[in-house]
Amino acid sequence: MKEDVIERYGFGVMADRDEIPNVFSHSDQFLIIDLKNRKEIIYEEYRKNPHAEVVKVKYPMPIGLGEKITDEEFQIYIDIAEMLKDCKYVIGNNLGYYPKKAMDQSNVFYIMQSVNELPRDHINRLIEDRAFAGFRD
């Protein structure tokens, strides 16, 4: 009998509008789900992003490759990555170079997608389309 596989995914979401923001670090919270065999949600939680307001005001857009950021800004991205390091994958819009670098340092695999639907609709579609399962089942 094949053993069940549980994988944790994280999605950045806006608490007040139940949508995925245009800039990942602007997420008010992170929706964390555990998928069994990449088909069934067996656990979910929301984690508050304590840096959301600061990032929205001080760092409204990710900067281009090669541009420098402050130590404070990079530390925020490190903190966000640390909050998500128990996730196998983190999915969202527009990460930016330095947040990606922070995710890499924390061994978090980030998947950038153009998500224009409600987070739950997006997750359900990925399950129904077998995208999580890698089209292998």
pLDDT, one tens digit per residue, over 56-111 is 999 888 777 778 999 999 999 999 999 999 998 888 888 888 888 999 999 988 88
**Can you give the pLDDT at residue 48?**
93
Nearest to 99 by CA among 89, 110, 113: 110
Is residue 38 in a domain? Answer: yes
What backbone phi and psi angles, to 5 degrees, belong to 120?
A: -65, -40
Is residue 24 predicted with pLDDT exceeding 80?
Answer: yes
Q: What pTM value is reported for the model?
A: 0.83
**Total domains in the fold of the chain:** 1
Is residue 69 in a domain? Answer: yes
Domain hosting residue 76, numbered range: 6-128
Is residue 136 in a domain? Answer: no
Is residue 135 in a domain? Answer: no
Q: Looking at residue 54, which CATH number applies to its domain?
A: 3.30.420.130
Average pLDDT score over the chain: 84
